[in-house]
Chain A
Amino acid sequence: MKQLASNEKVLMKGNEALAEAAIQAGCRHFFGYPITPQTEVAAYMAKRMPKIGGTYLQAESEVAAINMVYGAAAAGVRAMTSSSSPGISLKTEGISYLAGADLPALIVNVQRGSPGLGGIQPSQADYWQATKAPGHGDLHILVFAPSTIQEMVDMVFDAFELADTYRMPAMILADGMLGQMMEPISFPEKQVKQFDKFSWASCGHQGKRSHNVVNSLYLKPEQLEQMIQDRFQRYAEIQEKHTQWEEYLVEDADLVVVAYGATSRIVRSAINTARNQDYKVGMIRPKTLWPYPTKAIQQAAQHVKGFLSVEMSMGQMVDDVRLAVNGKVPVSFFGHTGGVVPTPAEVLAEIKKLLGGNQ
């Protein structure tokens, strides 16, 4: 696309904006496999990458695509892949290897209805997978949950930078709604931070150092345990420094709705209507799902009467809300799944039900 002037806005589809953001964040290697509703990411990359000396490669499978990302990341370049729910399941092997070999990479999941082949409408039913088990083993990946296309663009920059800083995979957990909708956006004019990876990458030693090995195999249990413990120290630092969330009208709230991604937009509408009717309701919106804003929820639990988690699933994130609240006040859930999107009216009704008569 043409270079935009400062503050200039452009109307873009979510998937395409995400792809352009990745390019502007310095990613020149994209490996993918077609799947609805993320295909425009690949199509955009296929159009743009050859023109800027980058690589777009359509792999034979999601398994191959994530391993191509593993290879590119091992060689020391910024690399990414994108897919949707069923395809992400195939990538989980590679994600575990990326985590185990301390490799930075970006994985995009534009979620659709599941399980199995499921459907192709928006869903948030991969929350557990993204935050609890993105691959086999003791590991975490960074998980960003944008609620607008602008935020998705900004998060792509953050995701690459944090992935490189901590040498770990990062995921943008979007959904079919964010991928397919259009919004005006601008691209951040920030200098992309450069990382020198020669000391650890397998990029050819050029006779300047002994050989590097990018690897996740440690046959001595004590050594493997030590590697994992070191990684968990980095995870603790990330939880401390890089947890992101938004609080909306929480200060005087009796009820706090917890919602992320596209669902949070519906919740915000419902809250605005409820406030006009004097219901004291607010929202905590996690922007990172790992690390999770546990402390923000704990803090709110000191003064609210209850929490409501609203999701496009049968209730997955609500587990983390309950863990944070730890029984202090009631936590309830409302949601739709399978590609059905909750309406503001439904959320409003749920808020009213929980708060009883006018507050």
Chain B
Amino acid sequence: MAVVYQRPKALVDIPTHYCPGCTHGIIHKLVAETIDELAIEGRTIGIAPVGCAVMAYDYFACDMVEAAHGRAPAIATGIKRSLPDSVVFTYQGDGDLAAIGTAETVHSATRGENITIIFVNNGIYGMTGGQMAPTTLPGMVTQTTPYGRDVSTAGFPVRVCEMLSTLSGVAYAERVAVNNVPNIRKAKAAIKKAFTCQIEKKGFSIVEILSTCPTNWGLTPLEALKWLEENMIPYYPLGVYADRTEKGVRGE
């Protein structure tokens, strides 16, 4: 019988700690499939963040490094500069990437580091129990915005792809979502393009993935997918925000 679907080899065959209905599992699978299809596991080094994906280092079969909160792009820079032919990706959440790690994100991007960032945006700090993230939507209730995010005191959500697209070092920035099958297929294509961009040394690449957190949003997995579609996508429009993959950021 022909095998039509199986676990990617770049995913270790162990149970994950993610909550039921969480979309981290889908995103892990897409990254692992990409590593398999590009046949790069042996030279890939992943960097896990602080946040829900902290234990991603146990799930990916490539070599892994655990980062301090927000520092993954700096660590990725150190690795890539040491091993220029390796493939280096970070896997980061919104608090990690767009709050405590903003400087590392912006500067690795503007340097045009040949690294790939997988940015999981679910608008909330999941691991610590559902506090406001830099990407929490206006009016959204979290543990630390119990009356809804009030932009007059808590400020506005950060649109990461839009911000980074202004930087000359960014070769590729796309925002995708994993709320339905067509979007998951687009997310896969974006991740593969980002990794390919890195392998061809075109510059910095980031894929922002709108994701759900049923547990801390207080919704069922299906309601969460619907909430993502109705609330997150309008604020964070899907699409390609930078594509300099043709010539690369250095025009080489």
When distances are taken between beta carbons in the complex, the residues of chain A under 8 Å from B78 are 29, 31, 67-75, 79
Tell me whether A214 is interfacial, beta carbon within 8 Å: yes
Is A217 part of the binding interface, using a Cβ–Cβ cutoff of 8 Å?
A: yes
Assuming A72-B82, A202-B64, A213-B66, what are 12 further A-B pairs, CB within 8 angstroms? A59-B107, A60-B103, A68-B78, A70-B67, A71-B82, A75-B78, A75-B86, A77-B82, A202-B79, A203-B86, A206-B42, A208-B42
- B45-80 vs A, CB cutoff 8 Å, 1 = contact: the mask equals 101000000110110111111111001001111111
Q: A18 to nearest B CB, angstroms?
A: 21
A167 to chain B, nearest CB (A): 15
Min CB distance, B41 to chain A, in Å?
8
Partner of B57, one of A60, A75, A97, A213: A213
For A201, give the chain B residue with the smallest CB separation.
B63
Which residues on A sit within 8 Å (CB–CB) of B66?
101, 213-217
Do B62 and A68 touch (CB < 8 A)? no
Q: Which residues of B contact A208 (CB under 8 A)?
A: 42
Counting chain A residues whose Cβ lies within 8 A of the other chain, the interface size class is: 35 or more
Residues of chain A within 8 A (CB-CB) of B12 are: 211
Mask, A74-109, CB within 8 Å of B = 1, is 111101000000000000011001000100000000
Query: For residue B81, which residue of chain A has the nearest CB?
Result: A55
Using CB atoms and an 8 Å cutoff, list the residues of chain A in contact with chain B.
29, 31, 55, 57, 59-61, 63-65, 67-77, 79, 93-94, 97, 101, 201-208, 210-217
Q: Are A67 and B71 in contact (CB under 8 A)?
A: yes
- Measured CB to CB, the closest approach of chain B to A193, in angstroms, equals 19
17 A-B contact pairs sorted by A residue (CB < 8 Å): A29-B78, A60-B107, A64-B103, A70-B68, A72-B79, A75-B82, A94-B68, A101-B66, A202-B79, A203-B63, A204-B43, A204-B62, A205-B63, A206-B43, A211-B64, A212-B64, A213-B58
In the complex, chain B residues whose CB is within 8 Å of the CB of A55: 81-82
Q: Chain B residues near A77: list those with CB within 8 A.
A: 82
Do the beta carbons of B43 and A71 come within 8 Å of each other? no
Give bound CA distance, A93 to B50, whole Å: 14
Known: A75-B82, A217-B54. A211 touches B60 (CB 8 A): yes
Tell me the total A-B contact number using a CB cutoff of 8 A. 132
| A63 proximity list for chain B (CB < 8 A) | 71, 74, 103-104
The answer to whether A97 touches B68, judged by C-beta atoms less than 8 angstroms apart, is: yes
B76 to chain A, nearest CB (A): 6
Tell yes or no: B145 within 8 A of A by CB: no
B151 at the binding interface (Cβ < 8 Å): no
B83 within 8 Å of A by Cβ? yes
Say whether B75 contacts A74, CB under 8 Å: yes
Contact A204 B74 (CB under 8 A): no
For A213, the chain B residues whose CB sits under 8 A away are 57-58, 63-66
B44: Cβ under 8 A from any A Cβ:
yes
Q: How far is the CA of A201 from the CA of B65 in the complex (A)?
A: 9
Interface residues of B in 73-124 (CB under 8 A from A): 74-83, 86, 103-104, 106-107
A195–B106 Cα distance when bound, in Å, is: 35
**What is the CA–CA distance of A182 and B42 in the complex, to the nearest angstrom?**
48
For A29, the chain B residues whose CB sits under 8 A away are: 78, 81-82
A208 to B83, CA, bound (A): 17
Query: How far is A101 from B66 in the complex, measured between Cα atoms in Å?
Result: 9
Q: How far is the CB of B130 from chain A (nearest CB, A)?
A: 20
Partner of B107, one of A64, A75, A101, A214: A64
Q: How far is the CA of A71 from the CA of B72 in the complex (A)?
A: 9
| Residues 178-211 of chain B, each 1 if its beta carbon lies under 8 Å from chain A, else 0 | 0000000000000000000000000000000000
Most buried by A among B12, B63, B80: B63
Whether A75 and B45, one on each chain, are in contact in the complex, defined by CB atoms closer than 8 angstroms, is yes
Minimal beta-carbon separation of A16 from chain B (angstroms)? 23
| In the complex, residue of chain B having the shortest beta-carbon distance to the beta carbon of A74 | B65
Task: State whether A67 touches B63 (Cβ < 8 A).
Answer: no
The residue of chain B having its C-beta at the shortest distance from the C-beta of A208 within the complex is B42
Which 6 residue pairs across A and B have the least CB separation, nearest first?
A71-B78, A67-B74, A71-B75, A68-B78, A202-B63, A60-B107
Q: Provided the pairs A60-B103, A60-B104, A94-B68 are in contact, do residues A71 and B63 lie with their beta carbons within 8 angstroms?
A: no
Chain A residue numbers with a CB within 8 Å of B57 are: 213, 215
Residues of A within 8 A of B77 (CB): 57, 64, 68, 71
Please name all residues of chain A whose beta carbon is closer than 8 Å to the beta carbon of B65 when the two chains form the complex: 71, 74, 202, 213-215
- CB pair A204–B75 under 8 Å, yes or no, is no
How far does the alpha carbon of A97 sit from the alpha carbon of B71 in the complex, in Å? 11
